[in-house]
């Protein structure tokens, strides 16, 4: 038989007491990866001191930064943001302009 777990009710834990923080990891090649609680996202009612864990919870933000300068961020609501450094954007624009007059290759 399937046993159902009780649904958690509202909590009166203070956010300050949760010791929310961040974790950074550096790789041998210089890339960095970080995870932190996304404080900017409102996940409880304005002015509320209680919230229902069954309905809403705080979320995390994930960041990956390779040595190329590209930055990838994933936010708690599923939004993905890519930040390209200027030198990579300039190169992409140059390559796109160079290929503007290119003709398709038959069969390829």
pLDDT of residue 27: 94
- 36 confidence band (pLDDT: 50, 70, 90): confident
pLDDT of residue 56: 66
pLDDT of residue 97: 82
**Is residue 57 a contact partner of residue 41, using CB atoms and an 8 Å limit?**
no
pLDDT in tens, 43-101: 666 777 666 666 666 778 899 999 988 899 998 878 899 988 888 888 888 888 887 77
- 12 confidence band (pLDDT: 50, 70, 90): low
Of 41 and 34, the one with more pLDDT: 34
Q: In angstroms, rounded to a whole number, what is the distance separating the alpha carbons of residues 67 and 59? A: 27
Q: In angstroms, rounded to a whole number, what is the distance separating the alpha carbons of residues 61 and 75? A: 5
**Nearest to 25, CA basis, from 72, 65, 59, 74:** 65
pLDDT of residue 41: 58
Of 23 and 77, the one with more pLDDT: 23
């Amino acid at each position: 038989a399937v046993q159902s777990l009780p649904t958690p009710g509202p909590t009166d834990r203070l956010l300050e007491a949760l010791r929310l923080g961040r974790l950074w990891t550096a790789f041998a090649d210089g890339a960095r990866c970080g995870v932190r609680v996304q404080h900017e996202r409102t996940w409880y009612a304005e002015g509320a001191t209680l919230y229902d864990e069954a309905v809403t919870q705080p979320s995390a933000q994930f960041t990956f930064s390779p040595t190329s300068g590209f930055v990838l961020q994933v936010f708690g609501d599923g939004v993905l943001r890519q930040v390209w450094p200027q030198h990579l954007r300039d190169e992409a624009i140059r390559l796109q302009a160079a290929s503007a007059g290119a003709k398709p290759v038959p069969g390829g």
